[in-house]
Amino acid sequence: MREAGAWLRDQHAHGALIGGSCAGVFVLGEAGLLNDRRCTTTWWLHEELKHRFPGADVVWGSALLEDDRVISAGGRPLSWIDLALHMISRLAGPQAARIAADFAVVDNTPLQQSLYAPKG
């Protein structure tokens, strides 16, 4: 994991967008990329992310957050698609993301996680 984290930090330092979805956001935390950044994860891992990475500003219920080219996606079904479409939009423009969403027959607007989290 140490080598992967170093590689991610290096890529980010050279201007790359770095993203994680659901439990994959923990990889970003292990790489040190969540420190002093807003981020999200799946609703059921929210407290664990806050506990393991106290330097992160973990936001509950957000479907997708970007802070300084570090993108995190929450835990709705297929949240990795939200992440991919966001990256396509950032790198190739919103029209390209719309075309990709239409081709994949998915929404191109992430929904709030509260729709999927159990009540209470």
- Report the chain's C-alpha Rg in angstroms: 14
Task: Tell me what pLDDT residue 11 has.
Answer: 98
Task: Tell me what pLDDT residue 3 has.
Answer: 93
Per-residue pLDDT for 66 more than 90?
yes
Residue 47 forms part of a structural domain: yes
Mean pLDDT of 1-30: 95
Task: Tell me what pLDDT residue 75 has.
Answer: 75
Domain of residue 22, CATH code = 3.40.50.880
Residue 16 forms part of a structural domain: yes
Residue 120 forms part of a structural domain: no
In our burial notation (b when 16+ CB lie closer than 10 A, e otherwise), range 20-34 reads bbbebbbbbbbbebb
The domain in which residue 99 lies consists of: 2-113
Residue 118 forms part of a structural domain: no
Residue 119 forms part of a structural domain: no
61: helix, strand or coil: coil
Per-residue pLDDT for 106 more than 70?
no
Residue 11 forms part of a structural domain: yes
Task: Tell me what pLDDT residue 100 has.
Answer: 87
pLDDT digits (tens, 9 = 90+) for 22-54: 999 999 999 999 999 999 999 899 999 999 999
d(CA 8, CA 19): 10
Domain count, the chain: 1
pLDDT digits (tens, 9 = 90+) for 73-105: 987 778 888 899 999 999 999 999 989 888 877
What is the model's pTM?
0.84
Residue 38 forms part of a structural domain: yes
Residue 20 forms part of a structural domain: yes
